Structure 1
């Protein structure tokens, strides 16, 4: 894998028919034409490149192409910061002064302005380069030169920045942009992110298939005192790397819905969440599930289903914005997005968990993904749902206790992190 993070198959486009519960600030029930589609950075790529794990609510055009549902309102598309902090009992917590780093490929030229719009829409504290809260650097840690822009990766970047903002509004954010989606560039960016002063956690919402080179690249995720998270994938049952690295917290995905129970929410395993038994990584000493002799994915989880997705603001496109651009995006003849979109995928759950680590403030004790295993009582156990076919095994089927798609569960406050 050090030489090649091979591309995963793109998630099959499926009909989106699940509406969100009444009272949640989220998109209304989808029409019959609603579908989901992976970001542009998730399309098949050359061997040796990673893909990101974002899935966008979209619609199929008359030509058969998919384009994002875009809305001018931040309250009619996906879960908002108050929803996420309610679902995971994060009220009253603050990561002030701590930095969450995001590693992505290529440049998002509109990252700072989009971030400002998102935070302003939900009354979050300003996070700008001027006030020292936000920094964007290249893989070597410098403000220039930055990589060339990419519409798909820009959507991923907007998602990551918005989820850190939603989960830990007081955190600082460092965006490290790799020159490409090739493994060596991403590893350089990873080391830069993890060794930058003030960084307590690093989120990676990308990955690829395992191969016999991955263990040689694992040391890039081994940074004592820095919690590193990695998305488990969005193509269902199957293992991706770096989620399978023993030095990361592998983050799976759930479907999250408002409920009338004591928690106020319910969760089930998301069908697209990656999981399974690694073919190459040795079993960590802190993992004790008996159905897999090697490293098992995932460790924990958070919302990822695009049908119960989150609100994201992204305006990087090749049509220049405005009503004509929106029309071109709807027709599928332009790339990118032009406003508020609803997004899912384990690209959502990874930055959420990295931010919960920052809120907890315990990363001085973190050397790998073991910490949640010692604090399972502070997690919401997810006990239903499946992401594929594995003979009914826990590797693809949620159950009480540990399972592959959702790991040990989702945050119930910060105690497990």
Structure 2
């Protein structure tokens, strides 16, 4: 869509008011990393915000790229674990779903619920520009993957590990059969103390692999109970039967755990413990509507791919029974090109599968990307 003058002025105004703003037009972190807490895994380019229409891959593009079925699927409850409040979340979700012809998902029709970490409608936590953008990306991607799914957003008081662990438990208590976590922190003793909150009988837990390339493994994605979702760069390919192509996203997270034992279902040989990621999907140039940044803008991050996969699990009808182990015995589209070592083109891992995509399993894209719902 063409950028309107109103859209440009609106974006410039928001950039002037938004946290961490600068004159640099390149992507920036919605939630800059801070020690001792998790951070959301979204980057965005605010000066590209448009008032008059989407910029980036939308729900229709993702449905085409991943060969999603025409039927909407079951009404699975998908939980979103997040920090801080997103005051305009329901309105932004409505704009997204209207744009792509998806059925309404509102408080009034029972499809959309937003609560605090105790599960109450109020009081809600303080608002955060960056975390609210993350929430908007989360609910948009669940919607794109599963238009019929109900969404429960549980907002933590802070991005501290204890508060986020409580949001996880609350989402499950409120009926979520899949819970998406689009945040992370470097694995270590402090976050791993809350590992048990990311394992619930009859629930599938999904988490972003990180947005820092090949580095220390990201928590909670590194947990063996969690489906760790990496990122790809999606592009049209008219010459192929699929019509699309993917490569490893240059910033998508991967890593070899220093703490978590090697799961029995993971057989890669150059990491003696848990390897991240398990699976991947598009994580770059994703269209969302976020009014606080001027309207439509493209967002990036494995915080897009994790809720998208969570939505697919919900749509498959196998929420709860789908677990990380099962992915390794299923059918996905193998991603064989790209690296998440942006600076060294694979030098960081010596050209190894830990940071370079290739045939079969590799850490940036796991076992591959969704092929309809067959892998779930």
TM-score, normalised with respect to structure 2? 0.89
| Aligned 8 A contact 1:101 1:193 in 2 | yes
Per the alignment, in what secondary structure is the counterpart of residue 308 of structure 2? helix
**TM-superposed deviation, 1:214:** 4.0
**Who is 1:174 aligned against?**
152
Distance 1:244 1:216 in 2: 13
Within 5 Å, give how 1:273-352 maps onto structure 2: 273-305=252-284, 309-316=285-292, 337-352=293-308
**TM-superposed deviation, 1:259:** 0.5
**Who is 1:373 aligned against?**
328
**Who is 2:363 aligned against?**
404
Distance 1:94 1:266 in 2: 25
The verdict on how the C-alpha distance between 1:230 and 1:364 changes in structure 2, with shifts beyond 3 A counting, is closer
**TM-superposed deviation, 1:55:** 1.3
**TM-superposed deviation, 1:48:** 2.1
Distance 1:195 1:288 in 2: 34
The verdict on how the C-alpha distance between 1:282 and 1:213 changes in structure 2, with shifts beyond 3 A counting, is farther
**Who is 1:74 aligned against?**
53
Structure 1: segments with no counterpart, 5+ residues: 1-32, 59-66, 317-336
Structure 2: segments with no counterpart, 5+ residues: 1-23, 342-347
Per the alignment, in what secondary structure is the counterpart of residue 158 of structure 1? helix
**Who is 1:357 aligned against?**
313
Could you tell me which of 336, 339, 362 is aligned with 1:383? 336
Q: What whole-Å deviation, never above 9, does each CA across 1:64-123 have from its counterpart, x for those lacking one?
A: xxx442101324x01111100111111224233211111110000101111111111221
| Aligned 8 A contact 1:74 1:311 in 2 | no
**Who is 1:413 aligned against?**
372
**TM-superposed deviation, 1:258:** 0.6
**TM-superposed deviation, 1:304:** 0.8
Per the alignment, in what secondary structure is the counterpart of residue 324 of structure 2? coil
| Aligned 8 A contact 2:79 2:152 in 1 | yes
**TM-superposed deviation, 1:355:** 0.4
| Aligned 8 A contact 1:93 1:359 in 2 | no
**Who is 1:232 aligned against?**
209
Distance 2:113 2:295 in 1: 22
| Aligned 8 A contact 2:161 2:191 in 1 | no
**Who is 2:12 aligned against?**
none
**TM-superposed deviation, 1:297:** 0.2
Could you tell me which of 56, 71, 74 is aligned with 1:96? 74
Q: What whole-Å deviation, never above 9, does each CA across 1:133-172 have from its counterpart, x for those lacking one?
A: 1000111111111001111111101111111111111111
Within 5 Å, give how 1:137-286 maps onto structure 2: 137-197=115-175, 199-238=176-215, 239-260=217-238, 261-286=240-265
Runs of 4+, deviation exceeding 3 Å: none
Distance 1:161 1:253 in 2: 18
Distance 2:53 2:287 in 1: 7
| Aligned 8 A contact 2:59 2:144 in 1 | yes
Distance 1:404 1:94 in 2: 31
**TM-superposed deviation, 1:402:** 0.3
Could you tell me which of 36, 43, 54 is aligned with 2:27? 36
- Equivalenced residue count is 345
| Aligned 8 A contact 2:212 2:251 in 1 | yes
Within 5 Å, give how 1:53-72 maps onto structure 2: 53-56=41-44, 58=45, 67-72=46-51
RMSD across aligned C-alpha pairs, in angstroms?
1.3
| Aligned 8 A contact 1:229 1:249 in 2 | yes
**TM-superposed deviation, 1:34:** 4.9
Distance 2:82 2:317 in 1: 24
Distance 1:382 1:301 in 2: 9
**TM-superposed deviation, 1:409:** 0.4
